[in-house]
Structure 1
C-alpha cells in the first residue's frame, strides 16, 4: 500500500464552541492561558486571573470545584481547558430536590387518604396501614411497606405505594450522601483527608474541656516537612502532593486512636492529643520523626526521601479557649523553629511545658 498523506481535523475553541457544549446551568467551561481566562461559557469572567488551589477557585464570590480537561496538541502549546461546578448552586439544587421529594410524598399521602376514605367500609385493615404510613411520610419518615400478593385494587395500590416509598428512599439516600460529602469537604483537607485549620477551632475547645475535667494536659505537636521546597523544585508539584499524601497516610497509621490530625497549610501539620505527661507525647513525636525518616515515596520513576521537624507544647487550661489555642501554637512554633535551627530532623519541646500535667488546674 502507498502512503498518500495525513488528514487532520481541527476545531477552534472559541465562544461559539463553548456555547455548543452541554454543560448544564451550574457548569462553566474555562479556556485558560498563562493564568488568565481567555474564553468562558460565563462571559463575565473573561480576562480574570485563574489560579486554582487544590482544584478549587473563587470567582466573584462563587466557589467552583474544577476538573481539568486534558487536550493533546499536535504541535506547540494549547491553552488549558477546565470545567467548573458551582458548589453553592449544587447544594441549593440538592436542597430543592429534597423538598420536592417530600412534597411529592405529601401529595401522594393526600391522594391515598382520599381514596381510602371512599372505600374504608370494605377495606379497613389495609387502608389503615396505608394511612399510618402516609402519616409517617408526612412527618418526614420513609418506612418500608411489604408488597401484597393479592390481586384486588387495594393491594395493587399498596404495592404501587411500596414502589414509590422505595424510590423515595433511594433518592433520599442520594441526597444524604451528597450532603455528607459537602459537609466533609468543609472540614477536611482535600489532598490529605486530614482535618483542616477551620475544624481546629471546633475541636480544640472540646479537647481543652476534656483536659480540664481529667486533669491531664492537652498537647500539640507541630510538624513541618524539612526542605520540602527543593522536593517541589526538583520533582515537581505533583510529586510534592504525592509526598504529602504519603506522609498523611503514615501519620494516620502511626498516631493513636484519640489523636486529632490537622493540615495547617502547605507542609505544616498538627497533632492534638490529651496525655498525662510530657514523656508520652515526646515518645509519640519521636516515633513519628523516626518513621518518616525511613519513608520512601516513589513518583515518576524517582524515589523521594524526607525528614520532619517537630515542636511540642502544652495548652494552658487556665486561659480562654481562643487565647489558649493561640498561645499553644505560638510556643509550638518557637520549639519547631529551634528544631530547624539545630539541624532539622529532630523534636524540640517548649521550655514552659511541664513534665507532668498540673492536676490542680
Structure 2
C-alpha cells in the first residue's frame, strides 16, 4: 500500500510539474510573442530548453519545499498529506489556467501542502513559511515592479537619440536572449519545487534521508516542466502579453531581464521559492507605468492580484477536503 502511494505521489508530482510548465509558459514567452520577435512555437521550444537547463542548477529551493513547509508523519497518512497537497495545487492551477489568470503555481503548491498538513495535524513550519514564502511573496513583485520601472527609464534615456527603427530592430532581436533568461529562471525556481515534494514523499516513506535531490528526481522534474512549457499556455499568454499593457520590444526586454534577475537572486542567494508569475507580471506593470499610469489596464491587473491573494487559501482548502476524503479509504 505504501509503495503504491509513493508511486502515486511521484506521478502526481510530475503531473503538477507538467501543469506548472504549461500554466507558466506565458511568463517566458508573452513579451517576445506579443511583439512578434519570436513565433509562438520557436518561443516555446526556446523556453522548454532553458527550463530544462535551469531545473538542473542548484537545489536550494527544493530543500526549502522538501523540509521547510511541513513535516508529515512517516506512514501512509503522511503520504496522503503530500498527495492531497499536490491535488489541491493542480486543481487551482487548472482553474486559473482555464480562466486565463496568471496565478502562482508555487503558492498553489505551498498552499496545498499547508492545507493538507493542517487537516492532518502535521507539523507546519510557520517560521520558515514567513521568512521564505510570505516575505519574498510580498517583496519580489515590489522589487520587480520598481526595478523594471527604473531599468525602462534608463533604456529610454540611453537610447533617446537613437534611430527609432534601428533601436526597435535591435531590441526585437535582443528579446530572444531576455526570453531565454526568463525561462532559465523559471526552471531554476519552479522545477525545484516539484523536486522538493518528491524528496518529501521519499523521506516520508523512509526511502530517502536528508534533503539532497537524487539525480533521477532532477531529470524527471526537469523533463516534465520542459514538456509542459512546450505544450503552451495560450490563455495566460494573452493576458500577460496583450491585456495588461501593449508591450514593445524594449519594454519586453526590460520586464524579462528584471524578472529573471529577481528569480536568480531569490533562488540561489536566499533559497526562497518565489513566484515567477508574480515577479514577471509586476515587472510588466512596472515597464508599462513608464509610459503613463493609464497605460496599464489596472482592472486586469486587479483581477491578477485577486488571484494571487486567493491562491494559497484556495489551494489549502481543496487539499484539506481531498485529505479528509482520502482518509475514508485508509485504514
TM-score, L = length of structure 2: 0.23
Structure richer in strand, relative to its length: 1
**Structure of higher CA gyration radius:** 1
Structure richer in helix, relative to its length: 2
